[in-house]
């Protein structure tokens, strides 16, 4: 059940922020929202997208099966994009609001539209595979977390 690590990374990001731990290259005295954003970009965007890239390329067949799909070349393209997003997440975790806003747009489009695809599969194909259902926690939870934190930090909307 490796799919559980994806939502777990989101939960851990929140837990580390609540414990007031800072990321490896986080700001010296961040607000709660800034620290939580740094964790969101470090763990679920950075680390988990890099792992997702590995899963969709190197372990493509078993990853596709966990989603209820058959592996194909397009899946590897998802993996390549995931690696790029993951590396950008690690870099952005220490950069601040401008980087966070831009990467939140990318991550949100990717994940929310992936959620639409997974929900469509659930409704039309009755695909209840763990990789198609459990992933919705992160597909929806991470964008909601990012935008709520960007709003509460004053990075947007002020």
7-11, 25-29, 130-134, 145-149: least confident range? 25-29
- What does the pLDDT read at residue 135? 92
Res. 23 pLDDT band, cuts 50 70 90: very high
- What does the pLDDT read at residue 79? 92
- What does the pLDDT read at residue 158? 63
Please classify residue 107 by burial: count the beta carbons closer than 10 Å to its beta carbon, then call 0-12 exposed, 13-18 middle and 19+ buried: buried
- What does the pLDDT read at residue 1? 57
Tokens representing 99 are 């980087």
Which string of DSSP letters, residue by residue, matches 68-91? Answer: T----HHHHHHHHHHHHHHHHHHH
Position 20 pLDDT exceeds 70: yes
Q: For residue 94, which of 33, 41, 19, 57 has the smallest C-alpha distance?
A: 41
CA distances to 3, 48, 59, 138, 154 from 7, rounded to whole Å, are 8, 9, 19, 5, 26
- The per-residue pLDDT for range 66-104, each reduced to its tens digit, is 888 888 878 899 999 999 999 999 999 999 899 999 999
- What does the pLDDT read at residue 138? 95
- What does the pLDDT read at residue 146? 98
Q: Where are the alpha helices (DSSP H) in the chain?
A: 5-18, 32-40, 48-57, 60-67, 73-92, 97-125, 130-133, 136-153
């Amino acid at each position: 059940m490796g799919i559980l690590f994806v939502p777990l990374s989101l939960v851990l990001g929140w837990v580390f922020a609540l414990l007031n731990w800072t990321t490896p290259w986080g700001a010296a005295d961040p607000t709660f929202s800034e620290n939580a954003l740094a964790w969101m970009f470090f763990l679920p965007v950075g680390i988990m997208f890099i792992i997702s890239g590995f899963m969709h390329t190197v372990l493509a067949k078993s990853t596709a099966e966990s989603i209820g799909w058959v592996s194909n070349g397009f899946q590897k393209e998802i993996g390549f994009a995931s690696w790029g997003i993951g590396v950008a997440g690690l870099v952005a975790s220490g950069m601040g609001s401008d980087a966070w806003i831009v990467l939140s747009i990318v991550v949100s489009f990717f994940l929310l539209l992936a959620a639409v695809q997974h929900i469509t599969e659930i409704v039309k194909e009755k695909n209840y595979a763990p990789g198609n259902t459990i992933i919705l926690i992160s597909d929806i939870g991470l964008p909601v977390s990012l935008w709520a934190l960007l709003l509460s930090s004053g990075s947007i909307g002020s």
